[in-house]
Structure 1
Amino acid sequence: MIVEQHWWNGDRTVRGRRDVYIRTDGQRWEVQAQIGGESGRSRVQECPSRAAATILADAWRGNHPAWRELPH
């Protein structure tokens, strides 16, 4: 899977860090929400399209202004 988009909540502590990724293999789409950095917990949800993945990623991020998109 290739990361198409990646957002980070801006918290530099491991416990507070949150990441949301949109990934694809060219046919399948998925959104991953990760809590606590690379060694933390994560949840992956498959989506039928990029549009659906974007909607889900937006919902998982909420409207907190600290979220920023990172280069992939």
Structure 2
Amino acid sequence: MVEEHWWNGDTTTRGRRDVYIRTDGRRWEVQAQIGGALGRSKVQECPSRGSASILAGAWRGGDPAWRELPR
């Protein structure tokens, strides 16, 4: 289940970036996706919700253009 989802605001397929925090109720993971649904992605498992939030923030890089999207 997606707990949080951010998008960098770029509407071009090539420039689009997404970061997701997901959980199955026991495990946490963060996914960084580049290039829209057909692009590349990297998934990192995290030991807790807190560590997933820290990693997601690092992958967003503090850029104010990032927007949180509703689940």
Q: Over aligned residue pairs, what C-alpha RMSD do you find?
A: 0.3
- In 2, the alpha carbon distance for the partners of 1:65 and 1:58 equals 11
Query: Normalising by structure 2, what TM-score?
Result: 0.99
Moved over 4 A (4+): none
- TM-score, normalised via structure 1 length: 0.98
- Structure 1: 5+ residue stretches without partners: none
Tell me the secondary structure at the aligned position of residue 45 of structure 1: strand
Are residue 53 (structure 1) and residue 52 (structure 2) matched? yes
Q: CA deviation at 1:63?
A: 1.2
Number of aligned positions between the proteins: 71
Corresponding position: 1:41 with 2:40 = yes
Structure 2: 5+ residue stretches without partners: none
